[in-house]
Structure 1
Amino acid sequence: MTQLDGWQMTGNIDTFRRGATAFRNARDLAQEHRDQSIETANTRARQPSPETPPEAEITVAETQHYEEATCDEFVDCESYAEPNWTRPNVTSSC
């Protein structure tokens, strides 16, 4: 492929000026798009969410408590990730 023309930063002063101008214009345009996206996101974040249920409809999920572990014990999470695990490594801090 043969390059016909370009905006290189090397060569002669004219191509350097065109390259620097193109770079600056692209940078400024990107800043405008970035600022517009941030403003749009901030506007959406300030609005109340319509899909938020009223407090009367909020339910609390039950948590699972394991009888074999207390809050003083350390449970190694990697033991739960193994496909054929039997009993996790539990060490007591007592």
Structure 2
Amino acid sequence: MTTVPFSRIRWDRVGRLALIAVLLFILALYVRPLQGYWSSWQEAKTKRAEVTALQQENRELRARRAALSSEKALEQEARRLGMVKPGERAYSLKGLPEGP
């Protein structure tokens, strides 16, 4: 009768450890691309907010341009800046109470 020598190496555990090591290595390969994806997503979110704010500002400026394009609006804006028509006399009143 021959006896099988007792093997001290537990191959089932070695195989499991090797599989776990390979799995961890594969997961480690995904870390940097995931970080890049996350930072790109955050940057895109920030840029979308900037675009939205700039679009709103653009709408406001276009509305102001449309409002200022009429003759009456141009005259009111010029008077607000202190300009007078040719032949008019400008007066400066001091000591008046502030507006309402």
TM-score strictly above 0.5: no
Structure with higher helix content:
2
TM-score (norm 1): 0.40
Q: Which has the higher contact order (CA 8 A, sep 6+)?
A: 1
Higher alpha-carbon Rg:
2
Structure with higher strand content:
1
